[in-house]
């Protein structure tokens, strides 16, 4: 609601309004008021209650009338003050006649109850019961529940605001405004819950006041003014009932307003438009209602005119609403489509790129649809869990979508929006992979295993047992895609470890060892340096599960070492046992390739002569080194052993980077990284003839 702008001379004194009102209310309880003042104040009380009700009906949400709890308290105190003032006049001047307390009380006593005391008492009691038992109690209960639910939902709403703020969807000013609204909403319902108790107390006080006025009036009239019993009853009972009614009617109106404000659901329409729009928006329901009322009107003994008239009115309303809806539908269908202006570009048009994406052709869609028996989603969930348990951090979620531009059985794996790998997988068939020791050939579509590049054949389902008997590794369609995806994620783990993942990893470790993390970041190293060190480890295939050892090593050496490569080398030494176990899980013997002594000496001299490291190697020597290493690694793999090159610690980092492109699966270890309990066996010597 828009605030009303008062003249400057009036709004300037608004700060004095509250103290003046409180002083006036207290004065009304203490100082005697003439009958004309009571008329003015009772009239003002009625007008104020009607004004509050109308404002409550026109609000669209409770916070539009945030001053209502205070108004509820003030109006209650006003009624009680008027009761005290009118009681004083009734008891002191009641013997003079029914107009002793003013024309308003006399009017309510005469015209509303017709001068009948019994009718007046019954009407007053009914109004009080309605106000006390129904309206006020219900509004108070709604306010109590609303306050409780608002307080329970406050943390979630605050987190949603913080998330929108961090995501850049709202600004700091909007966030501050929304937080204030949440706080005001909780305070509003809490205040309404408390203020409703005043109204219920006012209803009880009204009953007591009328009883006191009647009994006190009889005593004063008969004992002090020598009135007969009938005259005393006529005067004082009429005045007491009129006084009670003139206070209870505004109280009932205010209570109804309170119920309307706290019970409505926030909408962009006021309560009147809500009621009309929702009660009379279904012509069929109104037609049925009209038919039922008309049927009741035809029953013998029923008031036919009233029921049939109401049925006709409802039928007319339904007909009008039906015609209006049909006209709106015809106008919508016949109206030309508006030519909408192209909206201005905004930041909403900048869509985030999926870190990991899987796009599938239309024949592979059933694999990701659980309703059609697809299990690829389940496999991917297990894949992420296995990755987190083995590698040491949770990778980003994998977003799957269909792509009609792909081949029907094709799929594509993307990393940050760029294609990383692709392949084909045929539903209903199996991929028979040749591990190198099969005993025969299979009939099918020859291909290559998309994950590791091994020769394979797509076969029909009925050939599965035959392929397994011949030594083939047989996997289904979902397993082919999941294995390929797992290989890509594992080989690009360093690119998946962003700053957010590093922070989440440190927070996770900090739950068990908070001091360990606090002493490292940001006191000794920045988050970006820690991220770079962890990425270096992942690039070389080292898992980061043992974060405690990594953090302790960084904390020990960070005061004197800031270079990420040197920090990585120091961590690798501490993780030596884990690295070797990862490469040789069930053997005390470590079969490795090694460099010839002369080649080691040449490489050390080249490394010491320039900071460029491997870039200083003579081109012919570099070509020979990469070729011989690739051949030796291939022999290692054919013998079923991991391709591992053992070199001095000073050469490890440079050679690892140099040979990474020529021999992707090669692992370069330093002498310092090997545990003393392992036995080294050199399987081949590189550069022996160089």
Residues 502 and 516 in one domain: yes
What pLDDT was estimated at residue 36? 78
Tokens of 556: 């020990």
Q: Collapsing DSSP states into helix, strand and coil, what is residue 644?
A: strand
Cα-Cα-Cα-Cα dihedral sign, residues 158, 159, 165, 168: negative
Residues 241 and 99 in one domain: yes
Packing angle of the helix pair 238-263, 68-93 (nearest 10 deg) = 180
What pLDDT was estimated at residue 4? 45
Residue 438 falls inside a structural domain:
no
What would the mean pLDDT of 513-522 be, rounded to a whole number?
A: 88
Q: How far is the C-alpha of 109 from the C-alpha of 245, rounded, in Å?
A: 8
CA distances from residue 431 to 361, 380, 454 in whole angstroms, order as listed = 18, 19, 11
505 C-beta neighbours (distance < 10 Å), count: 20
Residues 608 and 537 in one domain: no
pLDDT for residue 623 is more than 50: yes
Residues 95 and 107 in one domain: yes
Name beta bridge partners: 591.
681
What pLDDT was estimated at residue 9? 43
Q: What is the pLDDT of residues 119-176, one digit of tens each?
A: 777 777 777 777 767 777 776 677 667 667 666 666 667 776 766 666 666 777 887 8
Q: How far is the C-alpha of 283 from the C-alpha of 273, rounded, in Å?
A: 17
Residues 204 and 251 in one domain: yes
Q: Which residues contact 343 (CB under 8 A, 6 or more apart)?
A: none
Cα-Cα-Cα-Cα dihedral sign, residues 535, 537, 538, 543: negative
Q: What is the pLDDT of residues 323-377, one digit of tens each?
A: 877 776 666 555 555 555 556 777 777 778 889 999 999 899 888 887 777 888 8
Residue 485 falls inside a structural domain:
no
Tokens of 509: 């470790």
Among residues 510, 544, 574, which one ends one of the domains?
574
Express as a percent the part of the chain with pLDDT over 70: 81
Please name which of 161, 159, 150, 160 lies closest in space to residue 183, comparing C-alpha atoms.
150
Task: Classify residue 63 by its DSSP letter.
Answer: G
Residue 439 falls inside a structural domain:
no
pLDDT for residue 681 is more than 70: yes
What pLDDT was estimated at residue 146? 67
Name beta bridge partners: 594.
646, 685
What would you report as the CA-atom Rg of the chain, rounded to the nearest whole angstrom? 44
Please name which of 535, 533, 529, 526 lies closest in space to residue 496, comparing C-alpha atoms.
535
What pLDDT was estimated at residue 251? 76
Cα-Cα-Cα-Cα dihedral sign, residues 188, 192, 198, 202: positive
Place of tokens 């990420």: 564
Among residues 551, 574, 597, which one ends one of the domains?
574
Residue 647 falls inside a structural domain:
yes
pTM for this prediction: 0.52
Burial class from Cβ neighbours inside 10 Å (0-12, 13-18, 19+) for residue 143 reads buried
What pLDDT was estimated at residue 246? 76
Residues 312 and 256 in one domain: no
Residues 227 and 113 in one domain: yes
Place of tokens 């209870």: 248
Residues 204 and 138 in one domain: yes
For the chain, helix, strand, coil in percent to 5 are: 65, 10, 25
Residue 231 falls inside a structural domain:
yes
The CATH number of whichever domain residue 380 belongs to comes to 3.40.30.60
Residues 530 and 396 in one domain: no
β-pairing, 589-595 vs 356-360, is: unpaired
Residue 433 falls inside a structural domain:
no
The CATH number of whichever domain residue 637 belongs to comes to 3.40.50.12790
Domain that holds residue 92: 36-146+188-276
Cα angle for residues 445, 448, 453 (degrees, 5° grid):
170
199, 258 in Cβ contact below 8 A? Answer: yes
Tokens of 28: 């009304």
Q: How far is the C-alpha of 642 from the C-alpha of 593, rounded, in Å?
A: 10
Among residues 256, 276, 296, which one ends one of the domains?
276
Please name which of 644, 622, 646 lies closest in space to residue 633, comparing C-alpha atoms.
644
Q: What is the pLDDT of residues 261-282, one digit of tens each?
A: 766 655 555 666 666 666 667 7
Residues 400 and 266 in one domain: no
Task: Classify residue 169 by its DSSP letter.
Answer: S
Total domains in the chain come to 5
What pLDDT was estimated at residue 330? 65
pLDDT for residue 655 is more than 60: yes
Residue 121 falls inside a structural domain:
yes
Residues 111 and 205 in one domain: yes
Tokens of 399: 């977003």
Q: How far is the C-alpha of 276 from the C-alpha of 278, rounded, in Å?
A: 6
588 C-beta neighbours (distance < 10 Å), count: 9
**Confidence category of residue 191, pLDDT binned at 50, 70, 90:** confident
CA distances from residue 413 to 385, 450, 484, 492 in whole angstroms, order as listed = 19, 11, 9, 12
Packing angle of the helix pair 564-574, 527-539 (nearest 10 deg) = 60
Q: How far is the C-alpha of 349 from the C-alpha of 151, rounded, in Å?
A: 36
Residue 555 falls inside a structural domain:
yes
Tokens of 105: 């009380």
pLDDT for residue 589 is more than 50: yes
Place of tokens 């505004």: 250
Residues 501 and 568 in one domain: yes
């Amino acid at each position: 609601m828009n605030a009303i702008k008062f003249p400057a001379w009036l709004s300037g004194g608004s700060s004095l309004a509250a103290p003046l009102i409180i002083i006036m209310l207290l004065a009304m309880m203490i100082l005697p008021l003439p009958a004309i003042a009571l008329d003015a104040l009772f009239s003002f009380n009625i007008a104020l209650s009607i004004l509050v009700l109308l404002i409550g009906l026109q609000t669209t949400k409770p916070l539009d009338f945030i001053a209502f709890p205070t108004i509820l308290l003030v109006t209650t105190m006003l009624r009680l003050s008027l009761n005290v003032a009118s009681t004083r006049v009734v008891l002191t001047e009641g013997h003079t006649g029914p107009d002793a307390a003013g024309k308003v009380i006399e009017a309510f006593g005469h015209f509303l109850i017709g001068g009948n005391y019994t009718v007046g008492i019954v009407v007053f009691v009914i109004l009080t019961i309605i106000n006390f038992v129904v309206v006020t109690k219900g509004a108070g209960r709604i306010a109590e529940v609303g306050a409780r639910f608002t307080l329970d939902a406050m943390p979630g709403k605050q987190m949603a605001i913080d998330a929108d703020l961090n995501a850049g969807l709202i600004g700091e000013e909007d966030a501050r405004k929304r937080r204030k609204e949440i706080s005001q909403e909780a305070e509003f319902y809490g205040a309404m819950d408390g203020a409703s108790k005043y109204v219920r107390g006012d209803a009880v006080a009204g009953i007591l006041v009328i009883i006191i006025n009647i009994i006190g009036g009889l005593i004063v009239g008969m004992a002090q003014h020598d009135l007969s019993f009938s005259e005393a009853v006529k005067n004082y009972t009429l005045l007491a009932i009129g006084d009670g009614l003139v206070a209870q009617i505004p109280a009932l109106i205010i209570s109804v307003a309170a119920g309307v404000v706290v019970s409505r659901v926030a909408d962009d329409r006021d309560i009147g438009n809500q009621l009309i729009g929702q009660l009379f928006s279904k012509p069929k329901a109104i037609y049925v209602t009209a038919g039922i009322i008309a049927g009741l009107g035809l029953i013998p003994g029923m008031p036919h005119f009233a029921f049939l008239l109401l049925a006709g009115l409802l039928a007319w309303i339904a007909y009008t609403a039906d015609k209006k809806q049909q006209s709106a539908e015809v106008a919508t269908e016949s109206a030309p489509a508006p030519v909408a202006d192209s909206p201005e570009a905004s930041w909403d048009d900048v869509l985030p790129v999926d870190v990991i994406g899987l796009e599938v052709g239309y024949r592979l869609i059933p694999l990701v649809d659980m309703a059609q028996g697809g299990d690829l989603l389940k496999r991917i969930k297990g894949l992420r869990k296995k990755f987190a348990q083995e590698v040491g951090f949770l990778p980003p979620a994998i977003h799957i979508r269909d792509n009609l531009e792909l081949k029907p059985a094709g799929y594509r794996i993307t990393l940050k929006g760029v294609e990383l790998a692709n392949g084909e997988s045929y539903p209903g068939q199996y991929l028979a992979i040749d591990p190198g020791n099969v005993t025969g050939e299979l009939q099918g579509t020859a291909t290559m295993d998309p994950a590791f590049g091994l020769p394979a054949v797509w076969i029909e389902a009925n050939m599965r047992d035959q392929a397994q008997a011949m030594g083939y590794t047989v996997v289904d369609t979902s397993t082919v895609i999941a294995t390929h995806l797992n290989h890509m994620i594992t080989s690009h783990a360093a690119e998946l470890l962003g700053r957010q993942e590093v922070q989440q990893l440190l927070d996770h470790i900090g739950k068990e060892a908070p001091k360990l993390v606090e002493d490292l970041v940001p006191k000794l190293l920045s988050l970006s340096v820690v991220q770079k060190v962890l990425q270096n480890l992942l690039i070389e295939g080292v898992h980061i599960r043992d974060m405690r050892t990594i953090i302790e090593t960084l904390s020990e050496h960070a005061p004197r070492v800031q270079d990420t490569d040197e920090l990585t080398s120091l961590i690798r030494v501490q993780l030596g046992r884990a690295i070797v176990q990862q490469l040789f899980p069930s053997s005390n013997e470590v079969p490795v390739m090694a460099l010839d002594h002369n080649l080691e000496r040449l490489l050390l001299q080249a490394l010491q002569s320039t900071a460029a490291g491997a870039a200083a190697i003579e081109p012919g020597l570099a070509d020979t080194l990469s070729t011989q290493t690739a051949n030796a690694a291939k022999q290692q793999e054919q013998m079923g052993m991991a391709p591992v090159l053992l070199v001095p610690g000073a050469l490890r980092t440079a050679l690892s980077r140099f040979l990474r492109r020529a021999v992707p699966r090669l692992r370069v270890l330093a002498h310092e990284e090997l545990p003393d309990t392992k036995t080294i066996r050199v399987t081949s010597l590189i550069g022996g003839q160089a």
